[in-house]
């Protein structure tokens, strides 16, 4: 079973994403801030981190992505950034930070599942 860490400061978004993923038989954990996500990823070793870009706290989702991607080779999860910001420069900033995918809010459960499936398709 694939493990997915959902990180967003909005509880309602985390709940919607968790319910969507659990219906598809993923093992899901939720967190509300970027620093906690980086710590948890190092311990739980998720296959994917769904990471909101704009969050309060010591650092945002872009910095968390950079930190996750610079972790040891065995601990590097896929990272999909979730953001209300969908302009080309925002997507570019996500890719530069190391994100594997970028999904613009609002998104449908089907869009989320399709985007996740695309990450695990053979190249």
Q: Is the pLDDT of residue 102 over 60?
A: yes
User: What pLDDT is recorded for position 92?
Assistant: 96
Average pLDDT over residues 52-66: 94
Nearest to 37 by CA among 5, 72, 4, 3: 5
Q: Is the pLDDT of residue 76 over 90?
A: no
DSSP letter at 82?
Answer: E
pTM of the model: 0.94
The CATH superfamily holding the domain 3-118 is Response regulator (3.40.50.2300)
């Amino acid at each position: 079973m694939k493990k997915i860490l959902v990180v967003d400061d909005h509880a309602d978004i985390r709940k919607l994403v968790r319910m969507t993923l659990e219906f598809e038989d993923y093992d899901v954990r939720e967190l509300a801030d970027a620093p906690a996500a980086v710590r948890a990823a190092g311990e739980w070793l998720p296959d994917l981190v769904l990471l909101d870009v704009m969050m309060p706290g010591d650092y945002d989702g872009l910095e968390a992505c950079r930190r996750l991607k610079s972790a040891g080779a065995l601990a590097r999860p896929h990272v999909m950034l979730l953001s209300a910001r969908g302009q080309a420069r925002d997507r570019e900033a996500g890719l530069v930070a190391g994100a594997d995918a970028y999904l613009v809010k609002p998104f449908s459960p089907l869009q989320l599942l399709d985007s996740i499936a695309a990450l695990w398709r053979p190249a």
